[in-house]
């Protein structure tokens, strides 16, 4: 039974403070010593997106939550979730690409950190943004510094922000500002040359995952029961592809190998082990496999817009201008340069094997799959030998290398700049083989820029050693347009 006059739920601290309010400083010192200790000093990070944990060791969090990172190695970090006063609320593992270091600039909704012009264009041209949408980025190019990128008249324009010192930023030399924020606020009310007033900050898209969970980084042979299947997305020679969900948390693509595919189980595991080590922002992430029974499952990230080929042939693809097409080509070349440097050969590079996701991000898919499944020929979804994409030495001698992938990249460029056109129109496979052997090369497509066609013809040099490597192709595509317009 409570004492008369005692307030329900009052603590000893409350009663002491009411009884002797003049000793407030003493009570502060006594009770502060008994409270949870603050987190140790260090850089504080803030969450840019909300995250739902997929494992008991992971932390769920909301956008804006603060973290102190204890171990920042790899894609998954050990962290404390903290209050603004530093008090620790919880400890666990968090995905690193959901966090950014908390400071006045990175917390601005319009600041996107280090980014090239193509990535900026991909973000701004997303359907959720309108004319006037903008972002500020730090250019990847040395010596450029900050750039204001603005969507205007269904294009993206880039303005260099000159930083004279720590407190002087300007686009027009006659109009300096003490901070980037002051510059942005000015152009939200004043007209920017050739672009009008700045509107809303570019909408941010939640980043993709490199793994389903930190627990699947090293243990990624999972039971089929963890996955639910939705609509069928496609059917190929080796597999059917379905939309799926992992533990009802994450959307995935589930590739179900057909039961009559000739799969060597040991070779399958060896090759998938190799593929799981390949991580790049423009390669499809391999999440898991399910092999407790046939048919086997291959689990990858889901790309909502489907193949690059079908995208280019559709109404949305037809709206893409030359800079957007160059952007897509750069992304593919960067992924292929990564594979080339790791001595991994794709063997079936084509627009049908590149997938398109949000913000028009392009990711190379099915790399290595031709070596996993034991079939005498490589085939398309139409069950035809891909003569039109294969280098002469691959067709005549079965010789594959990074340079045969370069030949295929030249054909992919043709597909991109014809909006999904069929290579060598009017020629059948045998005619293509005979014509290419004698030196025939496709003419420049209508409206294709000269520099793109020049790259195509370099990719189609008869001798493999005369073709450029992918890093050279990436560098030349990147330098083919100006940073500012």
Catalogue the active-site residues.
Answer: 348
Strand partners, 163: 169
For residues 114 and 121, the answer to whether their CB atoms sit within 8 Å is no
HSE (CB half, 13 Å, CA atoms) of 288? 27
H runs (alpha helix) in 35-150: 117-124
444 annotated among ligand-binding-site residues = no
Q: Which burial class, exposed, middle or buried, applies to 6 when counting CB atoms under 10 A from its CB (0-12, 13-18, 19+)?
A: exposed
Query: Rounded to an integer, what distance in angstroms lies between the CA atom of residue 261 and that of residue 267?
Result: 14
The H or E element that residue 235 is part of is strand 227-235
For residues 451 and 480, the answer to whether their CB atoms sit within 8 Å is yes
Q: What is the CA radius of gyration of the chain?
A: 28
Query: Rounded to an integer, what distance in angstroms lies between the CA atom of residue 171 and that of residue 306?
Result: 39
Contacts 24+ apart (CB under 8 A), 474-482: 474/330, 474/333, 474/334, 474/337, 476/451, 477/326, 477/329, 477/330, 477/333, 478/116, 478/118, 478/330, 480/326, 480/449, 480/451, 480/452, 481/117, 481/323, 481/326
Query: Rounded to an integer, what distance in angstroms lies between the CA atom of residue 377 and that of residue 395?
Result: 10
For residues 18 and 12, the answer to whether their CB atoms sit within 8 Å is no
For the chain, the residue count is 485
SS3 394: helix
The phi and psi torsions of 477 (rounded to 5 degrees) equal: -65, -40
- Asked whether the bond before 295 is cis by omega within 30 degrees of 0, the reply is yes
Nearest Cα to Cα of residue 388 among 344, 340, 349, 356: 349
Q: Which burial class, exposed, middle or buried, applies to 396 when counting CB atoms under 10 A from its CB (0-12, 13-18, 19+)?
A: exposed
Binding positions:
255
Binding positions for ATP:
255
């Amino acid at each position: 039974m409570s004492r008369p006059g005692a307030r329900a739920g009052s603590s000893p601290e409350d009663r002491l403070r009411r009884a002797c309010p003049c000793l407030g400083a003493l009570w502060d010192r006594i009770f502060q010593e008994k409270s949870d200790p603050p987190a140790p000093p260090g850089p504080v990070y803030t969450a840019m997106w909300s995250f739902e944990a997929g494992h008991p060791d992971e932390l769920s969090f909301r956008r804006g939550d603060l973290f102190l990172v204890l171990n920042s190695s790899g894609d998954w970090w050990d962290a404390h979730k903290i209050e603004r006063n530093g008090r620790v609320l919880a400890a666990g593992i968090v995905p690193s690409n959901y966090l950014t270091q908390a400071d006045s600039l990175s917390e601005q909704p319009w600041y996107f950190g280090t980014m090239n012009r193509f990535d900026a264009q991909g973000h701004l041209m997303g359907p959720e943004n309108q004319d006037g949408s903008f972002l500020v980025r730090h250019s990847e190019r040395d010596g450029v510094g900050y750039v204001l990128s603005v969507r205007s008249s269904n294009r993206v324009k880039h303005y260099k922000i000159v930083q004279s010192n720590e407190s002087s930023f300007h686009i027009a030399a006659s109009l300096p500002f003490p901070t980037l924020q002051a510059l942005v606020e000015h152009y939200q009310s004043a007209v920017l040359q050739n672009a009008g007033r700045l509107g809303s900050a570019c909408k941010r898209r939640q980043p993709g995952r490199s793994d389903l969970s930190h627990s699947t980084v090293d243990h990624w042979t999972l039971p089929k029961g963890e996955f639910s299947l939705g609509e069928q997305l496609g059917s190929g020679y080796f597999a059917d592809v379905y939309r799926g969900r992992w533990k009802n948390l994450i959307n995935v693509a589930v590739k179900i190998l057909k039961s009559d595919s000739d799969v060597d189980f040991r070779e399958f595991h060896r090759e998938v082990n190799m593929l799981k080590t390949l991580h790049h922002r423009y390669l499809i992430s391999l999440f898991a496999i399910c092999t407790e029974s046939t048919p086997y499952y291959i689990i990858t990230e889901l790309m909502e817009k489907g193949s690059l080929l079908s995208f280019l042939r559709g109404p949305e693809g037809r709206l893409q201008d030359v800079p957007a097409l160059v952007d897509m080509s750069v992304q593919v070349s960067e992924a292929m340069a990564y594979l080339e440097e790791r001595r991994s050969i794709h063997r079936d590079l084509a627009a049908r094997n590149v997938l398109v996701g949000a913000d028009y991000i392009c990711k190379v898919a099915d790399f290595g799959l031709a070596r996993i499944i034991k079939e005498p020929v490589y085939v398309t979804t139409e069950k035809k030998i891909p003569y039109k994409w294969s280098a002469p030495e691959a067709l005549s001698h079965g010789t594959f290398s990074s340079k045969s992938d370069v030949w295929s990249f030249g054909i992919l460029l043709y597909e991109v700049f014809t909006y999904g056109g069929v290579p060598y129109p009017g020629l059948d496979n045998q005619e293509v083989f005979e014509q290419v052997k004698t030196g025939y090369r496709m003419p420049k497509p209508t409206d294709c820029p000269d520099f793109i066609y020049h790259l195509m013809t370099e990719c189609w040099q008869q001798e493999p050693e005369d073709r450029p490597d992918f890093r050279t192709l990436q560098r030349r595509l990147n330098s083919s347009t100006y940073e500012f317009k």
